[in-house]
């Protein structure tokens, strides 16, 4: 991750210099100070397409005879008139940082100086966006990439100029832990399934014990022995056994407060099982553990920042593979809570592993609030695209708090209806409940899945289900059938976004864990 420092002033010798342009196409006061001969302003006027909007950048040569010493200048659109003090909200500052990093991809400079006149929070959030985009995606190529072909961002050091450097540095201390958590979630999701299977995910969880995170692992035959019949069934078709990894963070060993519980779907590869996916739908199924990766990344951020809130994270890990030992449509499984489940479609396995993790965690850990995350259904992608994650909850205050933090962190959620009554299509003639509706049913499957999961969460437990199928996976932005863009697409280059880490961290830090 890049090294970030904050200062009131600094030289840009040999560095890339970031300056601002308003949506009125005028330079900011800071930019004009570097443009004594008007070269930068003339370049803006000459480039008609550059309107000073957020997301736009313009590279220009450093002004001749200028005192900055910069190697090149990148002008960023601020999305507001240049005459106003640049006070972007957290979301806008994050986006500006991502745009700046993207504009530096493939350039020779390894240092950047940012002079946008940002306040302390704006500077710290800008640094977060810069760090996230500069990290790039996982690249296992044996040779360095050519410029323009997934070209990396070479920046290793950033100096952000602000009137409040000490306050900005204090804010960055926690935000850099958020960045580390997001980048961990991204890397785990981006790695192929042969390198990131359930055992490898457990190894990644084990690394957090060095930061004071506790770890308990139920794996292999112990999964079935613990009564986790749904998780065991999903994983029984693979040569790589399933596991339930339980991470715990307590600010103090004797902390008596019940924890907040985060649960992540960790299907390290989902072939669909015997209800096998078509080839085109299987290629990205290494990303089907993005929910578990987000939980792991959030625990990494929480422990790094040493948040004063007890948190447990459950990773429901398995591979869903076809084989002679795979579970079948028509099977009746028994969950850890004793509920019997009729299997309709082995490709609706995510809700099964989540149900067991929710049931085990609520019974064993007695949390004060529960959030689960999963790349769960295609119907939520059809409904919300890549713009927002689906939010289901019985609890209005909890849903409102999560939505507000999602808006602030550019990890948007959209609340969808959670059926209050028993869904007729999930009624089974042979078991307590069907796993999903036959042939889709009348309701979208995202609602079926949420209704199914609600059976495993007592009504008095504050709970929210986040279906992140549209926002949790990577995408190739060059593909002809690429889905709709993310609301802030400048924070990554098409790899997994690590969706949910920023949102959950801010929600946990806010003290609204039961709101």
Active site residues: 277, 351
The reply, when asked if residue 481 is annotated as ligand binding, is: no
72-77, strands of its sheet edge to edge: 3-7, 157-161, 111-114, 16-21, 72-77, 57-61
Nearest to 172 by CA among 128, 111, 131, 114: 128
Per-residue CA distances from 210 to 114, 214, 218, 389 (Å): 35, 9, 20, 32
The reply, when asked if residue 286 is annotated as ligand binding, is: no
Contacts of residue 70, Cβ cutoff 8 Å, sequence gap at least 6? 12, 13, 14, 15, 16, 17, 34, 62, 113
3-class SS string, 214-279 = EEEEEECHHHHHCCCHHHHHHHCCCCCCCEEEEEEECCCCCCCCCCEEEEEEEEEEECCCCCCCCH
Q: Residue 464: what are its φ and ψ, rounded to 5°?
A: -135, 140
Q: Residue 18: what are its φ and ψ, rounded to 5°?
A: -100, 120
Give the whole-angstrom CA distance, residue 339 versus residue 2. Answer: 49
The reply, when asked if residue 35 is annotated as ligand binding, is: no
Three-class DSSP category at 172 = helix
Q: DSSP secondary structure string, 447-503? A: HHHHHHHHTTS-TTS-EEEEE-TTTSS---TTSTTPPPPPSSGGGSSSS---TTHHH
427 touches 330 (CB < 8 A): no
The reply, when asked if residue 480 is annotated as ligand binding, is: no
The reply, when asked if residue 270 is annotated as ligand binding, is: yes
3-class SS string, 33-55 = HCCCCCHHHHHHHHCCCCCCCCC
**Distance from first CA to last CA of the chain, Å, rounded?**
34
Question: How many CB atoms within 10 Å of residue 465?
Answer: 29
Indicate left, alpha or beta for 75 from its phi (over 0: left) and psi (-120 to 50: alpha): beta
CA angle, 186 as apex, 395 and 214 as ends, to 5°? Answer: 65
Q: How many helices (H) and strands (E) does the chain have?
A: 15, 17
Please enumerate, by residue number, every residue annotated as part of a binding site for Mn(2+).
Answer: 265, 270, 288, 347, 349
User: Which residue numbers belong to the known binding site?
Assistant: 265, 270, 288, 347, 349
């Amino acid at each position: 991750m890049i090294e970030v420092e904050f200062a009131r002033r600094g030289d840009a010798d040999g560095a890339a210099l970031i300056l601002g342009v308003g949506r009125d196409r005028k330079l900011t006061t800071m930019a004009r100070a570097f443009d004594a001969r008007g070269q930068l302003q003339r370049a803006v006027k000459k480039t008609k397409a550059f309107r000073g909007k957020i997301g736009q950048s313009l590279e220009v040569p450093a002004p001749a005879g200028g005192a900055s010493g910069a190697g090149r200048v990148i002008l960023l659109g601020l999305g507001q008139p240049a005459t106003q003090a640049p006070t972007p909200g957290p979301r806008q500052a994050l986006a500006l940082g991502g745009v700046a990093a993207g504009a530096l991809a493939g350039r020779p400079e390894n240092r950047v100086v940012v002079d946008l006149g940002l306040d302390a929070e704006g500077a710290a959030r800008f640094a977060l966006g810069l760090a996230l985009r500069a990290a790039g995606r996982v690249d296992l190529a044996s040779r360095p990439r050519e410029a323009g072909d997934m070209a990396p961002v070479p920046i290793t050091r950033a100096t952000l100029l602000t009137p409040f450097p000490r306050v900005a540095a204090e804010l960055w201390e926690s935000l850099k832990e958020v960045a580390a958590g997001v980048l961990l979630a991204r890397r785990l999701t981006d790695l192929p399934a042969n390198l990131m299977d359930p055992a490898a995910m457990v190894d990644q969880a084990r690394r957090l014990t060095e930061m004071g995170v506790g770890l308990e692992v139920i794996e292999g035959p112990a999964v079935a022995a613990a009564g986790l019949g749904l998780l065991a069934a999903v994983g029984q078709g693979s040569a790589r056994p399933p596991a339930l990894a339980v991470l715990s963070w307590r600010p103090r060993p004797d902390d008596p407060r019940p924890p907040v519980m985060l649960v992540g779907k960790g299907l390290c590869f989902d072939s669909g099982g015997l209800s096998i996916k078509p080839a085109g739908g299987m290629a990205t199924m290494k990303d089907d553990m993005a929910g578990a990766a987000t939980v792991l990344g959030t625990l990494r951020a929480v422990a790094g920042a040493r948040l004063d809130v007890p948190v447990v994270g459950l990773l429901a890990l398995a591979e869903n593979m076809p084989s002679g030992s795979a579970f079948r449509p028509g099977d009746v499984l028994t969950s850890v809570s004793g509920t019997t489940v009729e299997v309709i479609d082995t490709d609706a396995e995510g809700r099964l592993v989540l149900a067991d993790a929710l049931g085990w965690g609520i019974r064993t850990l007695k949390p004060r609030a529960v959030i689960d995350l999963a790349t769960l259904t295609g119907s939520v992608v059809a409904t919300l695209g890549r713009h927002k994650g689906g939010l289901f909850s019985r609890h209005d205050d909890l849903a409102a708090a999560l939505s507000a933090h999602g808006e602030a962190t550019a990890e948007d959620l959209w609340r969808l209806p959670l059926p209050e009554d028993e869904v007729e299509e999930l009624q089974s003639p042979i078991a307590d409940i069907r796993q999903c509706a036959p042939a889709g049913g009348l309701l979208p499957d995202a609602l079926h899945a949420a209704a199914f999961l609600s059976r495993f969460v007592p009504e008095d437990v504050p709970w929210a289900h986040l279906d992140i199928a549209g926002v949790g996976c990577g995408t190739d932005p060059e593909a002809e059938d690429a889905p709709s863009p993310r609301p802030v697409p400048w924070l990554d280059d098409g790899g997994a976004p690590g969706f949910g880490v920023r949102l959950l961290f801010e929600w946990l830090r806010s003290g609204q864990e039961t709101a």
